[in-house]
Amino acid sequence: AQRVTQPEKLLSVFKGAPVELKCNYSYSGSPELFWYVQYSRQRLQLLLRHISRESIKGFTADLNKGETSFHLKKPFAQEEDSAMYYCALSGGGSGNTGKLIFGQGTTLQVKP
Amino acid sequence: GAGVSQSPSNKVTEKGKDVELRCDPISGHTALYWYRQSLGQGLEFLIYFQGNSAPDKSGLPSDRFSAERTGGSVSTLTIQRTQQEDSAVYLCASTLRSRETQYFGPGTRLLVL
């Protein structure tokens, strides 16, 4: 079964502390993995995707196929990073529609 | 340019009534997705449209739910005989082509009393 698991509903850190939002997935095949973010009173938006291998707003995520994980990391959290973060999966392959399977989401709270 | 828009932004209805939710995708985007965001279930895929191809309806929770996309642009999600468990935020997203970055609308918050 295709599944995305985010074990933490809430992660609270102080400004300047490192952040790691955990994401594990279950998928038979080669999925594409994403992190989406929803800031307060804003719409859901893409933060990063594993195939881009880029750093956005200081966040990075590495796909670990052995551990089936795609954890989101930032070395120094900022207050403006406070938001809801969703890990999502899309099936790979030419027949894939791109529909996303989301985790339950983790609320990141960065305290001053 | 304009992003994905959805209307209404909020809808309160009585159990048993039908509702229609509208999505206007970004101009030129060929793929359109509907998702539902609810407290108990998180974000769930509902339905996908791509051009003139048959839609992927695999995420629709029951036959009370249906959707159409007219002229390859605007989409309407219809829920018949609404139930309290249908209360959720319904999100629409569009992409230039399937599997590319999805741009989400602001959502329609549906409350069934």
Residues from chain A that touch B51, judged by Cβ atoms under 8 A, are none
**Phi/psi of residue A80, nearest 5 degrees:** -70, -5
Please judge whether B43 and A90 are an interchain contact, meaning their C-beta atoms are less than 8 angstroms apart.
no
User: How high is the pLDDT of residue B91?
Assistant: 97
Query: Does B98 touch chain A if contact means CB atoms closer than 8 Å?
Result: yes
What element of type H or E holds B42? strand B42-50
CA gap B37, A51 in Å, rounded = 26
Average pLDDT per 10 consecutive residues for chain A, totaling 112 residues: 93 97 91 94 93 86 92 97 96 76 96 96
User: How high is the pLDDT of residue B42?
Assistant: 84
Tokens (6 digits) for B58: 């695999």
Tokens (6 digits) for B85: 């468990």
Please judge whether A43 and B35 are an interchain contact, meaning their C-beta atoms are less than 8 angstroms apart.
no
DSSP assignments along A37-103, one per residue: EE-TTS--EEEEETTT---BTTBEE--BTTTTB--EEESS--GGG-EEEEEEEE--STT-----EE-
User: How high is the pLDDT of residue B98?
Assistant: 76
Query: Does A11 touch chain B if contact means CB atoms closer than 8 Å?
Result: no
* Shortest CA gap A90–chain B (Å): 8
Residue the block writes with tokens 């933060």: A47
Please judge whether A104 and B42 are an interchain contact, meaning their C-beta atoms are less than 8 angstroms apart.
yes
**Phi/psi of residue B85, nearest 5 degrees:** -70, -5
Please judge whether B48 and A99 are an interchain contact, meaning their C-beta atoms are less than 8 angstroms apart.
yes
Closest to A100 (Cβ–Cβ): which among B45, B50, B106? B45
Residues from chain B that touch A103, judged by Cβ atoms under 8 A, are 42
Torsion region of B98: left, alpha or beta (phi above 0 gives left; psi -120 to 50 gives alpha): beta
Query: Does A84 touch chain B if contact means CB atoms closer than 8 Å?
Result: no
Q: Which distant-in-sequence residues (6+ apart) come within 8 Å of B98 by Cβ?
A: A96, A97, A98, B30, B31, B48, B50
Which residue in B has a C-alpha nearest to residue A98's C-alpha?
A: B99
Among B47, B20, B49, which Cα is nearest to B108's?
Answer: B20
Q: Tell me how crowded residue B34 is: count the other CB atoms within 10 A of its CB.
A: 27
Query: Does B102 touch chain A if contact means CB atoms closer than 8 Å?
Result: yes
Q: Which distant-in-sequence residues (6+ apart) come within 8 Å of B88 by Cβ?
A: B36, B37, B38, B39, B41, B110
- The pLDDT profile of chain B, 113 residues, written as one tens digit per residue, is 579 999 999 999 999 999 999 999 999 898 999 999 998 778 999 999 998 888 999 999 999 999 999 887 999 999 999 999 999 999 999 998 777 889 999 999 999 99
The letter for the amino acid at B90 is: Y
Interface of A with B in 41-60 (CB under 8 A): 43-46, 49
Burial class from Cβ neighbours inside 10 Å (0-12, 13-18, 19+) for residue A82 reads middle
Question: Per-residue pLDDT tens for B8-40?
Answer: 999 999 999 999 999 999 998 989 999 999 987
